[in-house]
C-alpha cells in the first residue's frame, strides 16, 4: 500500500514565494491574536523557553496555522513527535474509539491495546529486547531505564554524553549536559560526562584534519575511570544528539561505546526518542543502522505521534533480575490503554505503508537539497543528519566556524514569513542550528516546496554570503 501522504489542498508554496503573497489577517483575527497573547503574558509560567510570537489554532497533515490564518509547513513535527503528521485520520479514529470505550485504568490492570503494542514492538526488535512497559514522556522512560540499570547492576554511577538531552526529572537530568542543570543545587550523585561527539567542532583531529572520534572516546573513558568510585552502572546515549544541534554519532561509535560498557560490566541504554520508528531511514537507528542491540532501549515522541507515550524495552534477563530485586516504577499512567492504542496504530501505519523507505528516500532528497544550499551560501557552515532528521549550522565565517545567531534568526524569521517552520536552536551550545525533522509521510513535492522557501529566505536575507 502506498504511504498515506497528506498534501496541502489549498496552497502551492512555490507560487506563494514567487508572488510574495501570504495570508493576511483581518482585524478580527488580529484582535483575537492580541487577546490570546495578553492571556499568555499574564497567566503562563515560563518553563525554560521563549514563547513563539504566534498562537497556533489549527494543525492538519504537515501544516500548522496561527490565529491570524498564516499557514506554514511544519518541519519539526511539533516537538519532533508527529511522525505520521497532524490529525492523521486513523490516529484520530483510534483516539476517538478509545476515549469513548477504553481510556484509562487502574495501573495494575491490563488491556488489549497495551498487550498488542508490547507484542508488535518487541516482534520488530531483535532478541535481547524482549519485554516492554509504557509511560508518558521521554524523560520518564529514561528515568525508569536508569533506575532499572541501577537495580540490575547494584551500582549507581551513570555516564552521559556532553550536550545530551534526556529529560528534566532527577536522574535523567543528571545525565544531561546540554541545558537545565543550573539553579537547583546538587544534582544526582555519580554522574559522569563523555566529550560530545561533534564532528564539526571537536578538537580531536587526525593529521589530515578528519575527526578522530576514537581517540576522543578513549580519552573520555580514561577520565571517567579516574573519576569513578568503582560503581559504574550504565551509559546512556542518543544516536543523533538532536538538542546539541543534530550531531550524528560517527559510524562505529555506538559499537565502540558498547565495548567500553562491556569491559566495565555496565549496561548500554539507547535513547531513541527522536530517531526511533523510522525517522532516520531505519526502523531503529541503533539496531537497524548501527547493528547494536542496547541492553535497554527507550522510545517516546515518535511512538505516540504527539500524544504522551513512551516505552522502556529490555531483555528477559534484565527484567527477571529487576523483578527479583523489587524494581518499582509505578505511575498513574503506566500502561494506559488509550496512548498504547495510538502507539500500536503508529507502528502499524509505519510498517504497512512503507514509511521507513519513504523516510530514507525523502531524507536523501532533503539532504541533497540542503547541500545545494550550502554550495550557494557561505553562511551555511555544516549540513548533517540521517534520513528525515537534519541539521543546518549557520556561521559568520566558515574557516573560523564562528557562530552567527543573529543572522540565523533573521533567516528563520523570513522562512516562517514565507511559510516554513524549521526550529532554530539559538542556545549558546547550539551555535545557531536549524533542526529539521518533518513527518515521515512527507512527499517529494513538499520537500521541494520547503527547500524553495529556504532558498528564498537565504536569498533575500542580508549577510548570508551568496557564493554565486
Q: Which three cell numbers stand for residue 12?
A: 502551492
Would you give the DSSP letter of residue 302? Answer: G
Res 7 pLDDT > 70: no
| Residues 74/62, Cβ–Cβ less than 8 Å | yes
Q: What are phi and psi of 173, to 5 degrees?
A: -65, -35
pLDDT of residue 108: 96
Q: What are phi and psi of 346, to 5 degrees?
A: -60, -50
**What is the set of domains in the chain, with CATH numbers?**
13-81+354-460 (3.90.1150.10), 90-352 (3.40.640.10)
Q: What is the mean pLDDT of residues 79-106?
A: 97
pLDDT of residue 51: 86
| Residues 438/74, Cβ–Cβ less than 8 Å | yes
Closest to 248 in 3D by CA, of 296, 285, 295: 285
Q: Which residue has the cell 490516529?
A: 91
Res 302 pLDDT > 90: yes
pLDDT of residue 429: 63
Q: What is the mean pLDDT of residues 257-270?
A: 98
pLDDT of residue 430: 64
433 Cβ contact partners less than 8 Å away, ≥ 6 residues apart? 245, 246, 391, 392, 393, 394, 408, 424, 425
Report d(CA 354, CA 276) in Å as an integer.
15
Q: What is the mean pLDDT of residues 200-215?
A: 97
Res 449 pLDDT > 50: yes
Closest to 461 in 3D by CA, of 411, 420, 418: 411
pLDDT of residue 428: 63
pLDDT of residue 27: 54
pLDDT of residue 342: 98
Report d(CA 412, CA 422) in Å as an integer.
7
Distance of CA 407 to the CA centre of its chain: 24
Could you please report the per-residue DSSP string of 205-242?
A: B-TTS-B-HHHHHHHHHHHHHHH--S-EEEEEEESEET
Q: How far apart, in Å, are the Cα atoms of 175 and each of 27, 262, 422? A: 49, 19, 27
Give pLDDT tens digits for 264-277: 999 999 999 999 99
Res 2 pLDDT > 80: no
The partner residues of 385 in beta bridges, in order of sequence, read: 390
Report d(CA 84, CA 131) in Å as an integer.
25
This prediction has a pTM of 0.93
Q: What is the mean pLDDT of residues 272-299?
A: 96
| Residues 410/461, Cβ–Cβ less than 8 Å | yes
Which position has the higher pLDDT, 49 or 235? 235
Report d(CA 343, CA 121) in Å as an integer.
9
Res 21 pLDDT > 70: no
Q: Helix 112-123 crosses helix 337-352 at what angle (to 10 degrees)?
A: 40
pLDDT of residue 427: 66
Give pLDDT tens digits for 377-431: 999 999 999 999 999 999 999 999 999 999 999 999 999 999 999 988 766 666 6
Give pLDDT tens digits for 187-200: 999 999 999 999 99
Q: What is the mean pLDDT of residues 213-228?
A: 98
pLDDT of residue 28: 57
What is residue 233's three-state secondary structure? strand
Q: How many other β-carbons are positioned within 10 Å of the β-carbon of residue 84?
A: 28
Res 133 pLDDT > 80: yes
Q: What are phi and psi of 372, to 5 degrees?
A: -65, -40
Q: What's the pLDDT band for 368 if we cut at 50, 70, 90?
A: very high
Closest to 97 in 3D by CA, of 274, 295, 340, 269: 340
Report d(CA 95, CA 141) in Å as an integer.
22
Q: Of 36-45, 192-201, 356-365, which gets the smallest average pLDDT?
A: 36-45
Q: Which residue numbers are catalytic?
A: 165, 238, 271, 274, 301, 435
What is residue 461's three-state secondary structure? coil
pLDDT of residue 185: 86
Q: Which three cell numbers stand for residue 221?
A: 573513558
Q: What's the pLDDT band for 146 if we cut at 50, 70, 90?
A: very high
Closest to 289 in 3D by CA, of 331, 347, 224, 240: 240
Amino acid at each position: 500500500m502506498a504511504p498515506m501522504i497528506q498534501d496541502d489542498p489549498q496552497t502551492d508554496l512555490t507560487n506563494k514565494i514567487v508572488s510574495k503573497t501570504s495570508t493576511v489577517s483581518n482585524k478580527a483575527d488580529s484582535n483575537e491574536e492580541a487577546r490570546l497573547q495578553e492571556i499568555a503574558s499574564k497567566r503562563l509560567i515560563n518553563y525554560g523557553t521563549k514563547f513563539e510570537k504566534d498562537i497556533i489554532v489549527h494543525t492538519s497533515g504537515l501544516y500548522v496555522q496561527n490565529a491570524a490564518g498564516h499557514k506554514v509547513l511544519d518541519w519539526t513535527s511539533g516537538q519532533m513527535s508527529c511522525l505520521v503528521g497532524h490529525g492523521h485520520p486513523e490516529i484520530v479514529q483510534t483516539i476517538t474509539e478509545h476515549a469513548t470505550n477504553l481510556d484509562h485504568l487502574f495501573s495494575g490492570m491490563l488491556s488489549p491495546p497495551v498487550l498488542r503494542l508490547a507484542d508488535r514492538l518487541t516482534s520488530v526488535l531483535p532478541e535481547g529486547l524482549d519485554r516492554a512497559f509504557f509511560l508518558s514522556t521521554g524523560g520518564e522512560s529514561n528515568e525508569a531505564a536508569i533506575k532499572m540499570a541501577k537495580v540490575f547492576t547494584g551500582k549507581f554511577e551513570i555516564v552521559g554524553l556532553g550536550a545530551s538531552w534526556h529529560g528534566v526529572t532527577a536522574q535523567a537530568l543528571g545525565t544531561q549536559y546540554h541545558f537545565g542543570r543550573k539553579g537547583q543545587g546538587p544534582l544526582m550523585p555519580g554522574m559522569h560526562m563523555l566529550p560530545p561527539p561533534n564532528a564539526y567542532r571537536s578538537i580531536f583531529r587526525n593529521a589530515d584534519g578528519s575527526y578522530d572520534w576514537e581517540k576522543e572516546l578513549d580519552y573520555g573513558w580514561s577520565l571517567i575511570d579516574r573519576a569513578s568510585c568503582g560503581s559504574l552502572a550504565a551509559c546512556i546515549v542518543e544516536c543523533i544528539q538532536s538538542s546539541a544541534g543534530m550531531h550524528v554519532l560517527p559510524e562505529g561509535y555506538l559499537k565502540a561505546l558498547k565495548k567500553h560498557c562491556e569491559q566495565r560490566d555496565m549496561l548500554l541504554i539507547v535513547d531513541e526518542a527522536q530517531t526511533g520508528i523510522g525517522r532516520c531511514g531505519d526502523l531503529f537507528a541503533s539496531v537497524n543502522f548501527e547493528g547494536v542491540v542496547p541492553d535497554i532501549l527507550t522510545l517516546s515522541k515518535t511512538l505516540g505521534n504527539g500524544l504522551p507515550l513512551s516505552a522502556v524495552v529490555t531483555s528477559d534477563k534484565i527484567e527477571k533480575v529487576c523483578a527479583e530485586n523489587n524494581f518499582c516504577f509505578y505511575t498513574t499512567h503506566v500502561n494506559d490503554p488509550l496512548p498504547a492504542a495510538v502507539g500500536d496504530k503508529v507502528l502499524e501505519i509505519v510498517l504497512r505503508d512503507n514509511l521507513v523507505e519513504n523516510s530514507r528516500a525523502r531524507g536523501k532528497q532533503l539532504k541533497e537539497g540542503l547541500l545545494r544550499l550550502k554550495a550557494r551560501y557561505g553562511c551555511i557552515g555544516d549540513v548533517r543528519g540521517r534520513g528525515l532528521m537534519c541539521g543546518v549550522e549557520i556561521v559568520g565565517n566558515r574557516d573560523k566556524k564562528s557562530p552567527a545567531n543573529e543572522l540565523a534568526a533573521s533567516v528563520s524569521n523570513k522562512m516562517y514569513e514565507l511559510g516554513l517552520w524549521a526550529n532554530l536552536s539559538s542556545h549558546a551550545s547550539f551555535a545557531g542550528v536549524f533542526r529539521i525533522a518533518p513527518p515521515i509521510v512527507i512527499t517529494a513535492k513538499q520537500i521541494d516546496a520547503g527547500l524553495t522557501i529556504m532558498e528564498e529566505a537565504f536569498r533575500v536575507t542580508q549577510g548570508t554570503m551568496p557564493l554565486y
